[in-house]
Structure 1
């Protein structure tokens, strides 16, 4: 099932979006979709990074590749 979202833009914003989409040979709807999904992915990546850094700060022990191989029995 497809859904539609309506976004209100100022004339200059719409012009910028249309120009960018035209340069990249995609329509403005596809551009908005891709940009929004990329933004969501970036924020999820940042949240994962922050979580990993907090875990590292709490336990800064790291393993060398050789230690990982030994632990995994490789």
Structure 2
């Protein structure tokens, strides 16, 4: 497993430690979860933006749920 060093102020460290303690997780776990969540949010936003751009260019086809069910024979 790799290690990452992070420089923060004493005030930020206290805030992070208090939040980790409140959630009964280690500081390392708090930072790992927070970073992964941020990355997931950014990825979702990029995918959504690409979809909306394709939709604006008329490159996306939409179907109602009734049409999808009929297509699937349900």
Name the TM-score class by shorter chain: 0.7 to 0.9
Matched, 1:69 2:69: yes
Give the paired residue count.
Answer: 73
Cα-Cα RMSD: 1.4
The structural deviation recorded for 1:73 is 4.1
| Deviates most, 51-60 or 61-70 | 61-70
Aligned to 1:9: 8
What residue ranges of structure 2 are gaps of 5+ in the alignment? none
What residue ranges of structure 1 are gaps of 5+ in the alignment? none
Q: TM-score, normalised by structure 2?
A: 0.88
Q: TM-score, normalised by structure 1?
A: 0.88
